Chains A and B, each alone.
Chain A
């Protein structure tokens, strides 16, 4: 089954404590992307990657880092989380032909 797997599903952390949200896909897709979803704001793109070692900023990249060392993995790193990064995060992947992203189930992050 085609899947995008995010871990953890839920995370509560404290301000300033570095964390990583993992994302893995089993579809061998080139393109991957991270979004955050906030009430009343919809989904906003944080970072995207077009292939291994190729990443670029989306609309709200401040406070986040990503890496793409392997095709299947695209972790999201928060070096020093702050309360305004409390949100629901989605990872997504697509192939270069069909477009239409496949989304993970989401990671609900709370920073206190």
Chain B
């Protein structure tokens, strides 16, 4: 079965430090890839998405992600984390590329220390 793996359940970083959240997916010729963020008590907000083209995509709030087809990965990065980035982050994959079936990872909870 197609699956999305976020290996880190919980990550803690200091404010100002760099951040990388990992996401791997099982397989897919032309997947559509997404990162969402969920603040406590809130819905999910789209950070960025990748369909094709340049494998480094820029998103909102200073986030970027890099698609590596050979590694089936779509890792999320931020050069300098702010306290307001504390939230849960979800990677999601549309394996058929353009279907309505989004498969989500189980999420990575980010804690930011002052």
Interface size on B, residues (CB 8 A): 21
| Interface secondary structure of A, over-half rule | strand
Q: How far is the CA of A56 from the CA of B101 in the complex (A)?
A: 10
Q: Say yes or no: A58 contacts B101, CB within 8 Å.
A: yes
Residue in B43, B101, B105, B106 whose beta carbon sits within 8 Å of that of A103 in the complex: B43
Q: Which residues of A contact B92 (CB under 8 A)?
A: 43
Known A-B contacts A42-B90, A106-B43; A99 and B32 likewise in contact (beta carbons under 8 Å): yes
Interface size on A, residues (CB 8 A): 25
Q: How far is the CA of A58 from the CA of B92 in the complex (A)?
A: 15
Closest beta carbon of chain B to A32's beta carbon, Å: 9
Residue in B45, B49, B90, B100 whose beta carbon sits within 8 Å of that of A31 in the complex: B100
Partner-A contacts on B (CB < 8 A): 32, 34, 36, 41-46, 49, 51, 90, 92, 100-107
Partner-B contacts on A (CB < 8 A): 4, 31, 33, 35, 40-45, 48, 50, 56, 58-59, 90, 92, 99-106
What are 30 A-B interface contacts by the 8 Å CB criterion? Answer: A33-B102, A41-B106, A42-B90, A42-B104, A43-B44, A43-B90, A43-B92, A43-B104, A44-B104, A45-B101, A45-B102, A45-B103, A48-B100, A50-B100, A56-B100, A59-B101, A99-B32, A100-B34, A100-B49, A101-B44, A101-B46, A103-B36, A103-B43, A103-B44, A104-B43, A105-B41, A105-B42, A105-B43, A106-B41, A106-B42
